[in-house]
Amino acid sequence: MTPVPGKRGFDLMIACAALACAWPLVLAMGFLVRREDGGSAVFCQQRVGRSGHLFTIFKLRTMGNGSGRAITVGADPRITRIGALLRRTKLDELPQLYNIIRGDMSLVGLRPEVPAYVERYDAKQRALLLRRPGLTDPASIRYRSESDLLAMAKDPEALYLTRIMPDKLRVAQGFARGETLSWDWRILWRTVRSGVA
């Protein structure tokens, strides 16, 4: 997969401008997260990035303490009250602008997965790891209500691994073959309009 000319500069320009505008909101939401249960405002998790290298992804924390599946299903009891609002509005994803500035991620690209799920990729799917993962992509828009869809399944993780994740990868492969900065602009605009990030 050939790189998109100018993509890194495009990412930096947009991410820096967005973070400059959004940081007061991130601080305010972080304060509300901490006030609810006294825990950390930021959730950190290892994800697989470009060339298969691990990086730490940052989000505003939406769940209380406790272990569970890697995917979130419907009205997961681990989700806090403020967390439900953050998830519904996708504001929990704003700290990933910092991941983009650091070079871990891009604005548009396949959403980064946890290592256990990436291990299931076949050779063609692994080719997607030649590019930085993204904050949003066409599959993110398609699966805007993914957690609600998973909530209707008897085995949510099996549904994710056998149907949803392969479809996301298929969509990402098609997009990557014809990606341009013009297409990135369109995906970002569609993301803002649909409330996905």
pLDDT at 56: 98
Q: What does the pLDDT read at residue 54?
A: 98
CA distance 151 to 87: 15
The predicted pLDDT at position 180 comes to 94
Buried b (16+ CB within 10 A) or exposed e, 73-82: beebeebbeb
pLDDT by residue for the chain (197 residues), tens only, comes to 677 889 999 999 999 999 999 999 999 999 999 999 888 999 999 999 999 999 999 999 998 865 456 677 666 778 899 998 998 888 999 999 999 999 999 999 999 999 999 999 999 999 999 999 999 999 999 998 888 888 888 999 999 999 999 999 999 999 999 999 999 999 999 998 876 55
Domain borders along the chain are 7-194
CA separation for the pair 118, 114 (Å, rounded): 7
**pTM of the full predicted structure?**
0.91
